[in-house]
Structure 1
């Protein structure tokens, strides 16, 4: 299957979650975790202000479909039972030719350890492999972010690389760990 485009029907439901586009009504919930230095420690953004959240909602996070490489789809992670936004998950479409993508996720600390990131990321892997026809999806993390490494391992992704001090990240050298999964590995998980 060659990547064409991805036009999901929302909400995307899992056992406990609803994944859906973010809206301006989510601004306060997004700020509650994306403004925290501890949450932002190992992710590629600084603690966000209300203005940054508003700008992202109007631009990057406004996408609800993927039509070409270089685009990303960020979805809110909502607990189905309560309707509470607990985090967000993203699918990046990096290459049409190589059918490559990447996943990322962030969950508020008060909701960590409940499997929400894993459940949401699994649904996004399905979108990437089955919906968009990607061949390979990666997850790139700072080596010190062990909770995120556990999520990627639970998803069945394998560690492929450890890039020692490859990036000056937030004022210090960071060792990046790359996890990956191929479409045939996804299919084998069945």
Structure 2
């Protein structure tokens, strides 16, 4: 089981007991408004099962870590990374926070911990983050972690009936904030 710590947070591997929080996060329309229309419980359960399995870098699966506060153990959200293959030195990062975790710096703090761990553990050259152009809070998280806006993909994905533009951010491993 993977565990990472920051001053305020514990990041750990997903466990069976996390199902309710995982489901609540993935089924909340407001939390997902810039990501997707919430999927069925069956689809979310399948994602949960896949992300609960043993993970290894380059597996082509997302590493999903639960974010909890160190002092109370309160569930804050999820963070993680994805790398298509061992040959690829590029990793995509992501995070999804519960409403009670918004505005406290938890996304930034947890993402920096994941990036630092990945740099120490794997030969990552570049990290990539995606967010809807209008998701200003998510863009700020990436920028605070040192990511730079590298492009805008017009009408890149749909949420419901709405096409959304996607901002693409990049961070070279040697540019990360220590």
TM-score, with normalisation over the residues of structure 2? 0.90
Cα separation, partners in 2 of 1:169 and 1:37, compared to 1, 3 Å: closer
Counterpart residue number, 2:47: 56
- Listed as ranges, the gaps of 5+ residues in structure 2 are none
SS at structure 2 position matched to 1:156? coil
- 1:141 equivalent in alignment to 2:135: no
- How far did 1:168 drift? 3.8
For 2:159 and 2:21, locate their aligned partners in 1 and report how far apart those are by CA, in whole Å. Answer: 26
Counterpart residue number, 1:46: 37
**Any residues of structure 2 matched to 1:6-45 within 5 Å, and which?**
10-43=2-35, 45=36
- How far did 1:70 drift? 1.6
Instruction: Give the RMSD, CA atoms, in angstroms.
Output: 1.9
**Any residues of structure 2 matched to 1:161-180 within 5 Å, and which?**
161-180=151-170
1:27–1:53 contact (8 Å) kept in structure 2? no
Counterpart residue number, 2:96: 106
- How far did 1:126 drift? 1.3
- Listed as ranges, the gaps of 5+ residues in structure 1 are 1-8
Counterpart residue number, 1:124: 114
Counterpart residue number, 1:6: none
1:12–1:19 contact (8 Å) kept in structure 2? yes
SS at structure 1 position matched to 2:94? strand
SS at structure 2 position matched to 1:37? coil
- Equivalent of 1:71 in 53, 61, 66: 61
1:91–1:101 contact (8 Å) kept in structure 2? yes
For 1:156 and 1:84, locate their aligned partners in 2 and report how far apart those are by CA, in whole Å. Answer: 27
Q: C-alpha offsets along residues 80-138 of structure 1, whole Å, 9 cap, x if unaligned?
A: 11111110002001343340111000101122000111111111111222211110110
